[in-house]
Amino acid sequence: MSATARGRGGGNHWDLPVVPMVPKAAPNAAPSEGGVEAVKRRLNRLALDVHDGPMQNLAVIGFSLGDLRRKMHALVPSDHHAGIDAGMEQIGAELGRVEDELRALIGALEHGAVTSVPVVDAIEMEVAEFGRRSAVVPELIVVGEPRTETDSQRIALQSVTRAALANVAKHAAAKTAKIRLVGAPEAITLEIEDDGRGFDPSRPPKKGHFGLNGMRERVTMLGGTFDVQSRPGGPTKVTATLETWRPPTAA
């Protein structure tokens, strides 16, 4: 399938929050009713904080974008208005996407659970969104029956997909990008390859230029492997592999 498209203070002084000491529960002990209710109250408070903080900030940004569009229309010739509108609509669509994700997070916090999304669906959403925002033509290939054992694995692969495709759009000058998601009995592998200009992976990346270290950390923290193959002139391939659960062998 394819998709086209606060630390304050001077010197070394910081105001750090005081973290209360929480007594450790006995191993395998069931949480008390009071403990469960305390967790629920904290989750609800966090949901309110997200609603009253980032959600309100998004609303302010949305209003500011509309005001900015009007001011730019007044300053530039009318034949440039269509380009301005297209750019503003793209930013607005991205803000809408962030708002939807925050609303889903608020709902999950209020209900104390996160709705799991199949990994194939999650990668499809990232590829489709990339296709809408980029001139690069993406192609998603699914081999076997890819699955992740935990939400952490799915989130890691989804984040690698998003970051790698962002690099393709910003730095690679590529025409196409191929995303392969391969499911095997013992592992799930994600490959993202582009036909862009490439680079020398042995050279340290410029600060803020590539998010390769962040991708690698996400994968290796889950016991997976991460590899980058590239050269000046291209192509570039990013590969992330995570092991799926295997039953213990009989003695």
> What are the residue ranges spanned by the domains of the chain?
34-111, 119-243
* Cβ-proximal residues to 182 (8 Å cutoff; 6+ apart), any chain: 143, 144, 146, 188, 189, 190, 191
Cross-strand pairs, 240:
190, 226
> Other C-beta atoms within 10 Å of 11: how many?
5
Per-residue pLDDT, 10: 43
- 119-243 maps to CATH 3.30.565.10: yes
pLDDT along the chain (251 residues), means of 10: 40 42 46 62 70 76 85 91 88 82 72 69 92 92 92 87 91 94 95 95 65 88 94 96 68 43
Per-residue pLDDT, 239: 98
Per-residue pLDDT, 245: 61
Predicted model pTM: 0.59
